Amino acid sequence: MARVTLQTIADRLGVSRATVSYAFSRPDQLSDDLRRRILQVADELGYAGPNAAARSLRLGRAGAVGLLFSETLAYAFADPYALGFFQGLATAAEEAGVGLLILPLPRGEKRPPPVRDAVVDAFCVVSLPDGHPALAEVLARRLPTVVVDEPYVPGHPFLGIDEPAAGAQAARHLVELGHRRVGVAMVGLHDDGRTGWADPGRQRGAVFEAMRGRRSGYEAACVSAGVDWASVPFYELSRNSRAAGREAGHALLGRTPRPTAILTNTDVLALGILDAAADLGLDVPLDLSVVGFSDSAAEEAGLTTIRQAKQEIGAAAGRLLLEPPDEPERLLFPHELIVRASTAPPRP
Amino acid sequence: MARVTLQTIADRLGVSRATVSYAFSRPDQLSDDLRRRILQVADELGYAGPNAAARSLRLGRAGAVGLLFSETLAYAFADPYALGFFQGLATAAEEAGVGLLILPLPRGEKRPPPVRDAVVDAFCVVSLPDGHPALAEVLARRLPTVVVDEPYVPGHPFLGIDEPAAGAQAARHLVELGHRRVGVAMVGLHDDGRTGWADPGRQRGAVFEAMRGRRSGYEAACVSAGVDWASVPFYELSRNSRAAGREAGHALLGRTPRPTAILTNTDVLALGILDAAADLGLDVPLDLSVVGFSDSAAEEAGLTTIRQAKQEIGAAAGRLLLEPPDEPERLLFPHELIVRASTAPPRP
DNA sequence: ATTAAGGTCTTAATGGATTAAGAAGGAGGG
DNA sequence: CCCTCCTTCTTAATCCATTAAGACCTTAAT
């Protein structure tokens, strides 16, 4: 049985294809009687409705926006920061009645990302490392594109926070409390899967722009407080999980002299650091101060952190996608230091 | 400046459109030299690559699957059960290299859901109430469709758990501990936004099939233990949140005689019940036993719950979407009672 | 009776690409 | 020199629908 199209129905009834099309999309162009007959025949033949791809082609719009995210989706759906962003974006899409097409980024990179075939009206790119091929594919599509967090692409709207400033604020909080032996645990600097100590060279060579900026903020604040950055133990993680944070915590807290404060670039990691501190019988904040980032999982644990407006960024991204601005802007959203119980001056 | 298409490039170079198409999609059909020239001209003209909608139309595939979920996306991205399912589904999609098109369900129902225009190869419908118009739209598309949790649609694969059995197991756990004064707090029975006491008539008239089944399991187990169901206080919620659970908890625990055990159909709700118990200075489990559902947010709180294989269901749904079976199956996944510290025999 | 105005349907152009089959030309073998 | 086989491209059919403009027929008003 051949596929049923508008033409099939038209032939059946001896009317033109256009008439059948009107029956589906512009009821006012037809007599009620004929329209009813058309719909009935369509039903009898098992017509699946006007083909979506053909419609999209003809109308020039897709009714969907594409979303590219650096991590696997399984990870993204477990990450509080990503979820906050998704919520904002999804709500904007929902209000506009457009779909959200989540595109997979093949990790094994055997095949190219399915960006070329994505039937969308715009793209939202979130947190891609420098030089990621998927970004080039997206830009080649020449659709409205907004980038969130990283990397900044001149000529396209950008949404994020002032990473160096936010990083500096987190670090300044610690040095102003009097800490001088600071350790750092960061995830998402590189995408080569390495875990362990990172020297300043590797730190600065991070391929994730936002994290690079955040780290440089840490460094700037520490240096201006007289801390020798080269001596700051810096542990790099490849996975953002509580377990990874714990691993970093043990590494950092095992050093002599032991750091009195640890900066982390996610709340989840910070929770892991707290676990490690607990393992070692250290009191937080008396023996150790810990700062998280994002305020995505920090509240219950009483974690000092930098709050970023995840949902607002998502919502704003959605709006920019749906109504691309004439002048691409670089929008930096506010961030805020939230001081809770995980930080205090070091023991004298 | 008119839009650049394959034809534009072909004209520029004096070759045929087909040749240009081959340059993009079948490099082996062309001499390297010509291919290079084509790609260069394409670049110069700012060609955006083969149009995705046209490609999808011609090839007859979309490279994406559609997802319909009953709740707003902002809610879905905050619900642990939904997230677990999404993770499984997204991972399957990722492995197959297909996109996941999340479709909004307009709550205001002014406009129809954008199901007709979704350029997808298959649909996954999750947790829709009986008679929801979006389901009819989906079925009209005559694409491979799988339904998760509810409603069961004969002729299409179905994934979920044996709800009556799972509900009965939760309730049986309580009555076997000796509880006879049981209360129930459930969310997601109806979609009319009502909150408050629900009599058995309203309970049985629930429009969400899975919850209807789960509740009937509660009833069956209670009744066979000699509990008069009509006297079981039943509090219905319209939102699945900790705050809603707390509200239900206060309502249920304010009754005389006070229930010694409360059944809830989500972990989040159960956490709210625990909050209410704490408000009233009640000891859990000595004064009150609480059972959650899903094992999605239960572990840290030590909540007794029914575990369902969320991620596996999602992964299985993904597989069925990508390779539709000949015989549609009704797959019931295992569930398991996880007994933790929130349940105990009632005080003598 | 004439004509304007509607209502209802058809014609035909259009959106952009894919691919089987065929044509043209060159190279190599006998 | 002829035939065959490649390689490289072209031809033309096909995927399915939308919509402006035009044709035809009624109806109502003048």
Dist CA B328 CA B153 (whole Å):
10
Inspect the interface and report whether the beta carbons of B90 and A111 lie closer than 8 Å: no
CATH 3.40.50.2300: which residues of chain B? 64-160, 163-308+334-338
Question: How do residues B251-276 score in pLDDT, each as one tens digit?
Answer: 999 998 999 999 999 999 999 999 99
Identify the CATH homologous superfamily for domain B163-308+334-338. Answer: Response regulator (3.40.50.2300)
- Covered bases, chain C (protein CB within 7 Å): 7-12, 14-20
| For residue B30, pLDDT beyond 70 | yes
Give the residue among A204, A190, A209, A191 at the shortest CA–CA distance from A151.
Answer: A209
Question: How do residues A181-235 score in pLDDT, each as one tens digit?
Answer: 999 999 999 988 899 999 999 999 999 999 999 999 999 999 999 999 999 999 9
Considering the domain A163-309+333-338 in this protein, what is its CATH number?
Answer: 3.40.50.2300
Beta bridge partners of A112: none
Alpha-carbon distances of B207 from B72, B183, B211, B213, rounded to whole Å: 17, 21, 8, 11
Side-chain half-sphere CA neighbours of A107 within 13 A: 13
Please say whether the structural domain A6-50 has been given the CATH code 3.40.50.300. Answer: no
Residues lying close to strand C (Cβ under 7 A), chosen from 30-59 of chain A, are: 30-31, 33-35, 54, 57-58
> What is the mean predicted confidence (pLDDT) over A155-159?
94
Q: Worst-scoring range by mean pLDDT, A17-26, A213-222, B211-220? A: A17-26
Alpha-carbon distances of A275 from A40, A170, A241, A278, rounded to whole Å: 66, 21, 12, 5
Distance in angstroms, CA of B56 to C1' of D17? 14
Give the residue among B136, B148, B149 at the shortest CA–CA distance from B317.
Answer: B148
Q: How many CB atoms lie within 10 A of CB B150?
A: 25
CATH 3.40.50.2300: which residues of chain A? 64-160, 163-309+333-338
> CA of B87 to nearest chain A CA: how many angstroms apart?
5
Question: How do residues B142-156 score in pLDDT, each as one tens digit?
Answer: 999 999 998 999 999
Q: What pLDDT is recorded for position A189?
A: 94
Inspect the interface and report whether the beta carbons of A97 and B83 lie closer than 8 Å: no
Alpha-carbon distances of A17 from A5, A23, A192, B57, B60, rounded to whole Å: 9, 10, 56, 18, 21
**How many beta-carbon pairs under 8 angstroms link A with B?**
159
Beta bridge partners of B100: A102, B65
Contact A186, A237 (CB under 8 A): yes
For residue B202, say whether its CB is under 7 Å from any atom of strand D: no
DSSP H helical segments within B3-79, as ranges?
6-13, 17-25, 32-45, 52-59, 73-76
> What topology is assigned to A64-160 in CATH?
Rossmann fold (3.40.50)
| For residue A129, pLDDT beyond 70 | yes
First-to-last alpha carbon distance for chain A, in angstroms, is 85
Question: How do residues A171-182 score in pLDDT, each as one tens digit?
Answer: 999 999 999 999
For residue B55, say whether its CB is under 7 Å from any atom of strand C: yes
> CA of B70 to nearest chain A CA: how many angstroms apart?
12
Alpha-carbon distances of B272 from A301, B249, B269, B288, B323, rounded to whole Å: 18, 7, 5, 13, 41
Phi, psi of A101 (to 5 degrees): -95, 110
| Burial environment of residue B62 by CB neighbours within 10 A (0 to 12, 13 to 18, 19 or more) | buried
DSSP H helical segments within A231-309, as ranges?
242-253, 267-279
For residue B40, say whether its CB is under 7 Å from any atom of strand C: no
Collect all residues of chain A within an 8 Å Cβ-Cβ radius of residue B42.
none
Nearest nt to the CA of A19 via C1' is: C9
Mention every residue, 6+ apart, whose C-beta is less than 8 A from residue B228. Answer: none
Sign of the alpha-carbon dihedral angle for B148, B150, B156, B158: positive
Dist CA A215 CA A166 (whole Å):
10
Mention every residue, 6+ apart, whose C-beta is less than 8 A from residue A323. Answer: none
> What is the mean predicted confidence (pLDDT) over A2-31?
89
Q: Which of B56, B68, B124, B310 to mutate to test the interface with A (most CBs of A within 10 A)?
A: B56
For residue B57, say whether its CB is under 7 Å from any atom of strand C: yes
DSSP string, A24-70: HH-GGGS-HHHHHHHHHHHHHHT---S-HHHHHHHHT--SEEEEEES
Give the residue among B210, B208, B209, B175 at the shortest CA–CA distance from B308.
Answer: B210
Question: How do residues B288-305 score in pLDDT, each as one tens digit?
Answer: 999 999 988 777 889 999
